[in-house]
Amino acid sequence: MTTVVTTKRVSAFKNELIKDFSIPKEYGSQAAAIREAKASYGAVYPLVIGTEKPKTQDYIISKNPARPNEIIGKFSKGTIGMAQRALDTAARTFETWKLTPYTQRAEILLKASAIVKRRRYEINAWMILEVGKNFGEADGDTAEAIDFLEFYAREMLRIGGQQPVHKNKNERGYLEYIPLGVGVIVPPWNFPFAILVGTASAAIVAGNTIVLKPSSDSPMMGWLFHQIMEEAGLPPGVLNFFTAPGGEIGDYLIKSPMTRFISFTGSKEIGLRINNLASQHQPTQKWIKRVVAEMGGKDGIIVSKDADIDVAVEGVVSAAFGFQGQKCSACSRVIVERPIYDAFVAALKPKVEALQMGDPAENKAVGPVINIRSQQKAMEYVAIGKKEATLLCGGKTIATNGGFYVEPTVFIDVPPTSRLSLEEIFAPVLSVIPVKDFEEALKVANNTEFGLTGAVYTKNRSRLERASKEFFVGNLYLNRKCTGALVGSHPFGGFNMSGTDSKAGGHDYLKLFLQAKVIAEYMPDDKVKRPARKLKRIPKPSATSATSATE
């Protein structure tokens, strides 16, 4: 079944609403999709290189982190030779794809969006099983992917075609954005569909061809996206699906002189490595490679002495423990003024202890962390925390069906310069830091090497205005939690070691995958007429009041 979509009349952008799984029908539909997905466990999946779909003898095994004995699927493990074939294929395809009208490229994204909407429960189900998101977190991820497809299609319609420039005497001129070339897309496992779809679709709609290398913890999501884009009519070779471990294969793709750009989301350490490798000029390389990187975070929420404690606690618990704290935007530390510190801690403890842990396929609030390495890292920081601060609650692993569970953990009286306070943990571990006043709160909020998200709870307007100027993060939220960015409304990306401030879901984002070319033609006798602007005018993007579980 192919969904037909036209770009002739495109409505204003609006965010996709998240489903309400407290409604029995919605819950039942999602549970049924999970059962269907489980019936397909263990299949073998190929690489996709142009029109070829080769399988290998070695596999990347995707497992359910809630039940590691359950094998999601076996994904062919690409080799160096296959990586080169993927690059060669992408380079050949680029010569025709770059000439495809931008309106046609946008139409493919709109078709893909319609397909995602139709397959929504299925996509959610595989995400729940592959990375351990509960129903709401998974659906928020899928909704954000829909938003990216819809938003970037409209953005390409907005900036495609001839753009006007200042008119000179005896001259006709214009500017147009042209694609870069072959890109390597390296998305993360924590937003395995939304970020994968967003980074890949932005590059594709801009006219580039890509080698998509999904995380080894979530290859199924990349396979689903390949299927969707194929159904939407994307020509073979534009998206080459390539599963392989990092290390040697990743380095090969990044260092290749054929690679024009790399889009990466993940840890600070790997992001810096990619940036370093990409900066090294290779023989026959004709360009300076472009790196778009979203890396880590150590995000803080300031709770002022005049804040509504119950509202602040609710926001902190949601931001700290949603998807087990495995978000680069997650609240990993809360900075509380002394006059309300004891009351805040007293209100926080029962809310955290009330969180239900268990299998996300049963829609429990807190599921497993992604793998055994993440569980071990979390427990290493719990051990560090016990030396640096006071354990308020949690701090243990839970053995349920062999899953990688870590209790929601809170440390109090955490020194602001401790490892617990400064280092990214990426697990359900929250530090509560007391400060004497708002002045100190801002200093503590800015004392990490990261600068991704932050939030402030206060009823004081002057404090909100001061935080707006002095709290140094890419996404700052006032009197709300620091997670839940909406495409279009909250372009997402951070400062310092949090990345290149790429602002995914914003009006600047597509230009990261484009380069501007200016054409100026001399016209005698001042008879020049500016050519008609060849882009389709559409309403400016708008956002609904929807809330999102995603970044």
| Cβ neighbours around 448 below 10 Å, total | 25
Interstrand relation of 397-398 and 405-406 (parallel, antiparallel or unpaired): antiparallel
Question: Of the residues 130, 137, 328, 551, which is catalytic?
Answer: 328
| Cβ neighbours around 62 below 10 Å, total | 29
Residue 455 identity: A
431 phi and psi angles, rounded to 5 deg:
-105, 130
Helix-helix angle 268-278:248-255, to 10 degrees? 40
Contact 144, 550 (CB under 8 A): yes
Residue 549 identity: A
Which residue's structure tokens are 């953005």? 155
Contact 315, 481 (CB under 8 A): yes
Q: Which two tokens stand for residue 424?
A: 């990214």
Q: Which two tokens stand for residue 61?
A: 């095994």
Whether 482 is catalytic is no
What is the Rg, in whole angstroms, of the alpha carbon atoms belonging to the chain? 24
C-alpha–C-alpha distance, residues 244 and 254, integer Å: 13
Q: Residues with Cβ < 8 Å from 9, sequence gap 6 or more?
A: none
DSSP letter assigned to residue 210 = E
Which residue's structure tokens are 């290749």? 256
Cross-strand partners of 62: 73
Contact 243, 78 (CB under 8 A): yes
Coil, helix or strand at residue 289: coil
Contact 81, 202 (CB under 8 A): no
- 151 CB-contact burial (10 Å; exposed 0-12 / middle 13-18 / buried 19+): buried
Which residue's structure tokens are 């029109």? 51
Selection from 67, 43, 71 nearest residue 55 by Cα: 43
Contact 45, 75 (CB under 8 A): yes
C-alpha–C-alpha distance, residues 272 and 254, integer Å: 12
Q: Which two tokens stand for residue 525?
A: 């006798």
Whether 294 is catalytic is yes
Q: Residues with Cβ < 8 Å from 371, sequence gap 6 or more?
A: 65, 217, 404
Contact 129, 78 (CB under 8 A): no
Question: Of the residues 16, 294, 337, 551, which is catalytic?
Answer: 294
Angle at 77 between CA 74 and CA 80, to 5 degrees: 175
Please give the positions annotated as active site.
294, 328
